[in-house]
Amino acid sequence: MINCTHCGKTQAEGNFCEACGAKLTIETEQPKTEEPNQALLQQEAPAANSTSKDGKPLLDQVQTTSKQYWTYATTRLKQPNCALKDNEQSLTNAIITAILLAFAVSLFFFGILHTWWNDNLAGWTDGKLPFFSTMGRLLLVFIPLIFSGLLANFITFRIVKDTLSLKQQFIRHFGTLVPMTALFVVMALLSLLGIFKMDIFEVEANLWGSLFIFLLLGIIIVIIPLIHMLYVLINQQHKQSFYVGILSVIINALLIAIFMRIFISNTLQEMERLL
According to the model, what pLDDT value does residue 105 have?
95
Residue 250's closest CA among 136, 99, 102, 148? 148
According to the model, what pLDDT value does residue 48 have?
44
Are the beta carbons of 128 and 205 closer than 8 angstroms? no
Residue pLDDT tens, the chain, 275 long = 677 776 666 766 666 665 555 566 655 444 444 444 454 444 434 444 444 445 557 788 888 888 999 999 999 999 989 999 898 899 999 999 999 999 999 999 999 888 877 777 655 655 677 888 888 888 988 999 999 999 999 999 999 888 888 999 999 999 999 999 999 999 999 999 888 877 766 666 677 878 889 999 999 999 999 999 989 888 888 888 889 999 999 999 999 998 887 766 666 566 566 55
According to the model, what pLDDT value does residue 35 have?
46
8: left (phi over 0), alpha (psi -120 to 50) or beta: left
According to the model, what pLDDT value does residue 70 have?
93
According to the model, what pLDDT value does residue 175 have?
94
According to the model, what pLDDT value does residue 99 have?
96
According to the model, what pLDDT value does residue 124 have?
60
Cα–Cα distances (Å) from 178 to 62, 77, 172, 221, 226, in that order, read: 20, 7, 10, 14, 16
According to the model, what pLDDT value does residue 65 have?
87
Which amino acid is it at 113?
Answer: L
According to the model, what pLDDT value does residue 208 have?
81
According to the model, what pLDDT value does residue 52 have?
43
Which residues fall within 8 angstroms of residue 20, CB to CB, at 6 or more apart?
Answer: 4, 6, 7, 9
DSSP state of 31: P
- Rounded to the nearest 10 degrees, how much is the dihedral formed by the CA atoms of 214, 215, 218, 223? 180
Which amino acid is it at 274?
Answer: L
DSSP state of 210: H
Q: Residue 187: is it exposed, middle or buried by C-beta count within 10 angstroms (0-12/13-18/19+)? A: buried
User: What whole-number distance in Å separates Cα of residue 8 and Cα of residue 3?
Assistant: 6
Domain range list for the chain: 87-274
Are the beta carbons of 198 and 121 closer than 8 angstroms? no
According to the model, what pLDDT value does residue 45 have?
46
DSSP SS3 for 23: strand
According to the model, what pLDDT value does residue 26 have?
59
